Structure 1
Amino acid sequence: MSAELTPYEIFEAGPVHLQCGITLPDAKLAYATYGRLNAALDNVVVYPTRYGGSHADNEFLIGPGMALDPEKYFIIVPNMLGNGVSSSPSNTPVPLAGPDFPLITQYDNVMLQERLLREVFGITKVRLACGWSMGGQQAYHWAALFPDKVEAMACFCGQAITAGHTYVFLEGVKHALITDPAWMQGRYKEPPWRGLTAKGRVWAGWVLSQEWFREELWRGMGYVSVEDYLKNVWDAMYYGLDANDMLSLIATWQACDISANPLYNGDREAALKAITAKSIVLPCRTDFYFPPEDNAREVAVMPDAELRVIDSVWGHYAGGGRNQPDTDAIDAALRELLA
């Protein structure tokens, strides 16, 4: 997680039966809230976390004068299962610890999040569900699983269904970790540093575009060469994160399919058509994970959706607060949906 962990609460969910057929006996959903819930319970924004991130990493889009203004909205940021803050391989006791932690789907995540809103706050209406990357996957799931509850949805640099090309990319990241001899089938005595370093180097070549490197934008960050940038930014990017947690999130990402649940039974078109929320889907023109062409297919089926491409060389990072013009474009879209 790239940001310092800011205050959060824990929803003690008790036994949670997962799609994979395993029960988490004492599931914990960590979440943070920003702003106040109004008397009508209708100023709610759900803004789930992304791969490798916590609630603190979402705060770049929350603030006075922004679309997600805590003076106006009650913003709930739930941490995905597996991210090291909610129930995860690194904090779950045996027999489900480490590599024995079960597969989590985005359906599992969102069904648990809906329980949090309903059981803790009495919330039955969501003004906006939004998110970046894996957070956008969850926003899509919110809108499809609870079409009568979600009024608006925004996904920035994310998808409803993980594409085959992205699945293969994630296989490369996964194998960078698990081929480190220190990984020991997930029962490592110390972090698999070589695998974590390799994971960072693989990720660096995918998260930013060819144009970004061609324009040498790393120079604006104070680095004198590509290798200088890789060494100082990416080699230790994942050192503070647990390898089994990262593998759990990869498995969740690879399994993402908006229709893979009892409501839609694999009918992807039906799941997308069920999204009645006013939606803006914001891919980046240069995103290798979630290219605009994939989102265009999704949006074409949705009843009230707009495809709005972010024209940026920042690739997947266009959705993550790294470049202010990209963040401004996302903020403007959220402002429209909340108007």
Structure 2
Amino acid sequence: MDYKLFELGNVPLQCGITLRNAFLAYKTYGTLNAEKSNVIVYPTWYSGQHYDNEWLIGEGMALDPSKYFIIIPNMLCNGLSSSPSNTPPPFDKARFPLVTLYDNIQVQHRLITEQFGIQKIALVTGWSMGAQQTFQWAASFPDMVERIVPFCGTAKTWPHNIVFLEGVKAALCADGAWNNGWYTEQPYTGLRAMGRVYAGWGLSQAFYRDAIYLKLGYSSLEDYLIGYWENLFFRRDANNLIAMARTWQKGDISANPTYNGDFEKALHSIKARAIVMPGDKDLYFTPEDSEYETKCMPNAIFRPFRSDWGHFAGGGASPEDTKFLDDSLKELLAS
């Protein structure tokens, strides 16, 4: 096991259920300095785990472990932290409660403060749902978070994004083996179908028109759909995927007692210096939604990827996009 567990005890969730004996899986990179001033928090994305984030960490990069103490907390429901797949009855599988982004950041804050005694975070950054958690960090703890770079994600899950996720969920749940979440074996037909639905959203039309997938070593479109997309979800737990999709759909940094649903107030309350980086061809975390949100933030720069990779401009597969992101991270950390 290349990660550690932070025992949370009993965690009251926003939905009204208490998650008992909860735990947060995390991994750290680098060394915390004496002043505890070199902290970067880098949350995970939908279905991803800490090792899926490691492409952005390395010597000479912005997230350089020789300079910074980088913490990757695994999002609740991702299979390593408390999830439907690893929780005992009666809250196992389909009975696992709804977890919000607010719930995630509250327990991550406990990890940062209780385990490490950290009071200031130099940077929070993340891709996709990691970007959503980045916004939530900055809104929930505006005096603690000094900088943020959310990439390919928004501070709120807008209606079209919710509809996209309904299609993804429906593809999985249409498999009879799903059995309302009480399956004995993974619903593999549904997981494969989910991958096919997702494939049309994750990348742009230009990505497919120009057959960029061939540059990744796939021999045909069908080879890519099976080898990447079906395989991506084939290796996941179905209940975990549904639980994380519910978290995603409820995304809203103002849906908590601090802001009581006042979304613009929540955005205006973010004190962190920010570079907000959507993909200009992202089909569900759209640049239009991102631009509106950025205008409501007092210290934010809007800097979209210009990329045919769509949502995956922030996924680490495109060297040009990775450099664009890394340069922006370096610029903000130097400020």
Shared fold by TM > 0.5?
yes
Structure 1 residue 123: Cα displacement: 0.4
Deviations 1:195-235 (A, max 9, x none): 00000000111100000011111222233321222122222
The residue number in structure 1 matching 2:78 is: 83
| In structure 1, distance between residues paired with 2:255 and 2:168 | 24
The residue number in structure 2 matching 1:68 is: 63
2:196 to 201, 211, 233: 201
The amino acid of 1:259's aligned partner reads S
The residue number in structure 2 matching 1:242 is: 237
2:45 to 42, 50, 73: 50
Structure 1 residue 332: Cα displacement: 0.8
The amino acid of 2:45's aligned partner reads R
The residue number in structure 2 matching 1:213 is: 208
| In structure 1, distance between residues paired with 2:226 and 2:10 | 43
Alignment map for 1:292-303 (pairs within 5 Å): 292-303=287-298
Q: Percent identity?
A: 56
The residue number in structure 1 matching 2:153 is: 158
| In structure 2, distance between residues paired with 1:189 and 1:214 | 40
Deviations 1:167-201 (A, max 9, x none): 00000000111111000010001110110000000
Could you list the structure 1 runs, at least 4 aligned residues long, displaced by more than 6 angstroms after superposition. Answer: none
1:278 to 273, 279, 285: 273
| In structure 2, distance between residues paired with 1:114 and 1:307 | 27
The amino acid of 1:208's aligned partner reads L
Tell me, yes or no, if structure 1 residue 94 matches structure 2 residue 89. Answer: yes
Alignment map for 1:172-191 (pairs within 5 Å): 172-191=167-186
The amino acid of 2:183's aligned partner reads Y
The residue number in structure 1 matching 2:115 is: 120
The amino acid of 1:107's aligned partner reads Y
| In structure 2, distance between residues paired with 1:249 and 1:27 | 16
- The alignment of Structure 1 onto Structure 2 pairs a total of residues equal to 334
The residue number in structure 1 matching 2:322 is: 327
The amino acid of 2:136's aligned partner reads H
TM-score, normalised to structure 1, is 0.97
Unaligned runs of 5+ in 1: 1-5
| In structure 2, distance between residues paired with 1:196 and 1:34 | 33
The residue number in structure 1 matching 2:102 is: 107
- Counterpart secondary structure, 1:237: helix
| In structure 1, distance between residues paired with 2:319 and 2:11 | 39
| In structure 1, distance between residues paired with 2:142 and 2:309 | 32
The amino acid of 1:240's aligned partner reads R
| In structure 1, distance between residues paired with 2:124 and 2:208 | 33
| In structure 2, distance between residues paired with 1:294 and 1:237 | 27
- Counterpart secondary structure, 1:41: coil
- Counterpart secondary structure, 1:280: strand
2:333 to 321, 324, 338: 338
